[in-house]
Amino acid sequence: MKRSLPFIIISVIALATLGGGAMLYRAKRPHPLVIPKDKIVGARADNASMHIRGSRDATVTLEEFGDFQCPPCRLIAGFLDQLVEEYRPHLRIIFRHFPLSSHKHAREAALAAEAAGLQGRFWEMHDVLYREQVGWSKVGDAAELFNSYAGMLKLDLERFKKDVAAEKTKARVAADVERGESLGVKITPTIFINDRELAADNRTPNGVRAMIDAALPAEPTR
């Protein structure tokens, strides 16, 4: 069964407090996944439909498969934002939906993010959903809260409601899930740096940075 990965740290603040030595998360998968060459997202790919933070033509791609109701995904989100700033313009982050069936509102949250994206506010909704995760995850009907977030972001609320239920929105989420499943993704967060999954021995802040550094093109010699 699909499941979220347990975090050892309890907040992004803990990353700094522990000097970058805390584990980000643990996984039981013995061998890291590898993205086949025909599925690698190249720097010059048609990325208009992808949700990207950082330079769209960056040389290093961090591709995350996440679930808005997954606590470890919420905890890692701030750290990933920090990485974008640290490595600008060399790193881009691509967010992929991978709502787990064990999370009641995860798919609905993904649709809300996509509906916001159709009005140019995907990342703003992404951030709100993670920030407010503890609240909306526990209610019986999350739609009202998602509508309130749309209002807070000054979206056209009627359009937002229609887009949440639209087939094109559902298809967009389904396409991310299909890609994840085709790569062997089963848990969240699953992170790839270029074509390789974040390995077990790299699941620390410094380990992530080391993997990004290794993927950067070599400086030209003089």
Task: Summarize pLDDT for 136-153 with one digit per residue, the tens.
Answer: 999 999 999 999 999 999
- Of 184, 181, 198, 189, which Cα lies nearest the Cα of 5? 189
Which position has the token pair 């969240």? 188
Spatial contact of 181 and 97, defined as CB atoms under 8 Å apart: no
CA dist 72 → 6, 95, 118, 150, 151 (Å): 6, 15, 26, 24, 27
Of 195 and 15, the structure prediction assigns the larger pLDDT to 195
pLDDT cut 70: percent of the chain above it: 82
pLDDT at 46: 55
CB 22 within 8 A of CB 8: yes
- pTM beyond 0.75, yes or no: yes
Q: Take residue 89 and report the two structure tokens written for it.
A: 């313009």
Q: What is the number of other CB atoms lying within 10 angstroms of the CB of residue 89?
A: 12
State the pLDDT at residue 3. 55
Q: How far apart are CA 165 and CA 167, in angstroms?
A: 7
Say if residue 42's pLDDT is above 80.
no
On the 0-12 / 13-18 / 19+ scale of CB atoms within 10 A, 34 is: middle
Confidence bin at 29 (pLDDT 50/70/90): low
Architecture of domain 3-215: 3-Layer(aba) Sandwich (3.40)
Structure tokens at 198: 């974040």
